[in-house]
Every structure is written in C-alpha cells, then in structure tokens.
Amino acid sequence: MDNATERVERQRESSQALFGKKAAKIDQLWALARECADENWDGTGAAAIEIGAVLRTEGFLRALPDRVPLPELAVEPDGAVSLDWIRSPRRLVSVSVGRGSRLAFAWLDGTNRGHAVERFDGETVPGPILERIEAVVGNGDAALRAP
C-alpha cells in the first residue's frame, strides 16, 4: 500500500474502533433503561427512567466529538440520565439529559465549581459543555474508565 492508502486504512480502522465504543456505550444505556424501567428502582422512591431522556441521551452520545472520552452513565431519581466525566472525586463534570432540549450540567474542578444550562439541538453538543468536559478530563484521558 502507498502512504495515502495506508492513512485512509488507518483512519477507517480508527473510526470503526470509535464507533464500536459508542455502540457499546449506547448498548449500556439501553441496558440501564431496562434496569430502571420501573418506579422505585432504587428502593427510595425514584421515578422510572424516561424513554425520551434515553433517546435524547443516545443522540448526545452520537453527537459527542470522537476526541472526547465517553462518559459514565447513571439514572437520576427523576428519570433523567446523568452523563459523568470523572477524573477524580474533585474533578468531574455531570450533564443531565431529560426529555427536553435544555441540558443541566454542573462541575467541580478543584476549588472551582459551578452549574449552567445549555440547549442541545440533537446534533451538536453545546460548546460550553464540551469546553467544561475538556477542561476537567482532557482529551482521551485514560483515567476516565468504567469500573
């Protein structure tokens, strides 16, 4: 193979690997949806997961740029889905995806903390959320892994 062909082949393999990771994360999301499909799934009165939140989360995961590590997933007591980028207990970002297009997020970065709301159009992850994620975990940070 010439250099150009090799580059294309490497990019194709890289895309397949990334798609595989996203596909696995989306599978995990739907498994979570099944686990939390009934009210009181946590034993302390949580609402059932909202299917609209699951669908919007799937869209958010697909829209994440490939350079951004994939998040941890959790279900919130009101039925929304939480996407967490956790570098350490003192460095993390948490995004909440519910039925609507406005996404709540909050962060802790050492002594710096805050919260905000951004609109997600279903195709592009809002810039302020991406910036916060990248500030906390960096690009492709290996520290960010599921248990």
Partner 1 sequence: MLPSGLPEIVADGEDLARFLTSSSQYTARMAKPAAFLPAPKGRETSVFRHGAEPADALWAIGERIVAGSRTIHGAAVVKAGDVRASGLGVFAEEPPPRHATIRGWPWRDDDPELQKAQQKELAILVASDATLVWRFP
Positions touching partner 1 (CB under 8 A) are 32, 35-36, 41-47, 72-78, 80, 82, 84, 86, 88-90, 92, 94, 96, 98, 100, 102-108, 113-117, 146-147
Q: Which is nearer to partner 1, 6 or 35 (CB)?
A: 35
Q: Which is nearer to partner 1, 64 or 73 (CB)?
A: 73
Least Å distance, CB 120 to partner 1, is 11
Rg over alpha carbons for the chain, rounded to the nearest Å, is 17
* Phi, then psi, of 132 in degrees rounded to 5: -65, -40
Q: Which is nearer to partner 1, 5 or 89 (CB)?
A: 89
Least Å distance, CB 125 to partner 1, is 16
Q: Is 6 helix (H, G, I), strand (E, B) or coil?
A: helix
Measured CA to CA, the distance from residue 79 to residue 108 in angstroms comes to: 23
Is residue 20 within a helix (H) or strand (E), and if so which, with residue range?
helix 3-35
Least Å distance, CB 43 to partner 1, is 4
Measured CA to CA, the distance from residue 114 to residue 102 in angstroms comes to: 17
